[in-house]
Chain A
Amino acid sequence: MSDSSHIPSSEITPEETFLNRRFFMKSAIWAGSTLATAGLYRTFSPRPEVKNTGSVITTVAEPSQETTLAAGEKVNSFTEIAGYNNYYEFSTDKSEVAVKAKDFVTSPWSVQVGGLVQKPRTFDLEELLKFESVERIYRFRCVEGWSMVIPWVGFPLSKLLNLVEPTSAATHVAFETCYDIKQMPDSRFAGIDLPYIEGLRLDEAMHPLTLLATGLYGRTLPNQNGAPIRLVVPWKYGFKSIKSVVKITLMDREPGTTWSLANPGEYGFYSNVNPNVDHPRWSQARERRIGEIGLRPTLMFNGYAEQVAHLYAGMDLSEDF
């Protein structure tokens, strides 16, 4: 056993130095752990605001616009619309999509339209942007239970379909999203088969409310919202409104669609907004409007029953959900 009295005084750490060292170590642990905890929290917390950098699209006024408006409802801000997105090719974290999709290349772009049509044709983006554009303010209801009001810019899908002249055999339309794993590396976490496929019945596709959107808030679409061109079907759950469309195919049968193939018990082909038919894992009776804290009741066909209910006359909507 060593006796402290035999240690030369030069080898004893002066008390002051010892305490300083301890103080320094403790401070370092405090700072390090605080930074680590806060940093970890920050990686999960929502991203900062997004700016609208798209180029302006000229629109023409529509006399009938009131009927399609989300009348009297507050339109969501650009930051809300462009900062909270479901786009699984880029990320399954809704506030992360804007960041991950930032460098997505949307030009050159073309949409191949074919299948059961008289005049199959590939449209370049420039041609698509030449369609007479209108602004449509629609409610947008996600199957997850949140909703927004979005000022889309685009043109009715029927205009494009009329140009290719569907044959009399055509009953359905299938849509496909661009899938480029090099630009979408995180798509491997998506948990769904890609490319993303969606579909409509031909009469749904020809309905005047069904839009091919090229912009929002008067400017071209942000990447995270499905640039350069996407579908908008306002009376259906959001996932039907397929983004970044590269292919449109007319068919004589119901196409297999991504979510209903992934989980047929939970996502039907129709997926009309319906407060009376619950998702097996959550209620669809109410929704949280982004920007509001409380819940509001969900409207039948997302409030567009007057315009679209006739399309489903005689159908059992709990069967064909």
Chain B
Amino acid sequence: MTFSTDSRFHRQLFLFNGLLPALLILLDGWRGKLGANPVEFITRSTGMLTLVFLMLTLMVTPLRKACGWNWLLKQRRLLGLYAFFYGVAHLLTYLAYDRDWQLQTVIGDVSKRPFIAIGMFSFALMVPLAVTSTNAMIKKLGGQRWAQLHRLTYYIAIGGVLHYWIIVKSDVTYPLLFGIVLALLLGYRVVTSIKKARGAAPRAS
């Protein structure tokens, strides 16, 4: 068994490293080390982690093609589910500490604040993807339809970066970095789809 076929090892490695930031946040919270404004820190870091895992999910295909790391594909679902996991944590933090569980105020907030609306919309798009992440659902939908549905990830990532960009006061460094990474990842898809369309006829042998 070589490294690239040891998927049990990959699974454990990704599972642990994905959970580690959440464990560290809990640990720091328990030790009272989340700084002066723990709520803000948790909100910001869970939001960032959602974006990080969305980007990692979108990196799987280019990395497979560029480096031949086909083993990555088996871990993509886990990366996507981590994006959802941190998205849920981000949303719960907002509902609990920004809205005090006054759920009826969320509607007003969404209509008044575009960045909340964009964030909420992106989160809503993640739900069907998380629900259809099981093997049984892939089978039920059929591979192609499933893949089509899961291309929503592109719009979720765009929404996520936009959501972040709008909320910063003036320093756009981090949203810009996420934006550049996302532009590269989406650009890669545009380029490959153009190539595919052009090369489809001669290559179909």
A189 contacts B by Cβ under 8 Å: yes
User: What are the residues of chain A within 8 A of B167 when measuring CB–CB?
Assistant: 281
Report Cα–Cα, A33/B12, bound state, in Å.
12
Say whether chain A's binding surface is mostly helix, strand, loop, or mixed: loop
Please give the distance in Å from A234's CB to the nearest CB on chain B. Answer: 19
Given the interface pairs A37-B21, A84-B36, the reply to whether A189 lies near B173 with Cβ below 8 Å is yes
A311 contacts B by Cβ under 8 Å: no
User: What are the residues of chain A within 8 A of B17 when measuring CB–CB?
Assistant: 33-34, 37
User: What are the residues of chain A within 8 A of B13 when measuring CB–CB?
Assistant: 29-30, 33
Interface string of B4-20 (1 = CB under 8 A from A): 00000100010011001
**B41 engages A46 (CB within 8 Å):** yes
Interface residues of B in 1-49 (CB under 8 A from A): 3, 9, 13, 16-17, 20-21, 24-25, 28, 33-41, 45, 48
**A293 engages B171 (CB within 8 Å):** no
Closest to B3 in A: A25
Given the interface pairs A30-B13, A38-B20, the reply to whether A88 lies near B35 with Cβ below 8 Å is no
**A45 engages B41 (CB within 8 Å):** yes
**B36 engages A80 (CB within 8 Å):** yes
25 residue pairs of the A-B complex, CB under 8 angstroms, read A33-B13, A34-B16, A38-B20, A41-B25, A44-B48, A45-B33, A79-B36, A83-B36, A84-B36, A92-B170, A94-B37, A95-B36, A144-B169, A189-B173, A191-B168, A191-B169, A262-B170, A263-B170, A281-B114, A281-B166, A282-B113, A288-B39, A293-B38, A294-B100, A295-B98
Binding site for B on A (CB under 8 A): 25-26, 29-30, 33-34, 37-38, 41-42, 44-48, 79-80, 83-84, 88, 92, 94-95, 144, 146, 189-192, 262-263, 278, 281-283, 288, 290-291, 293-295
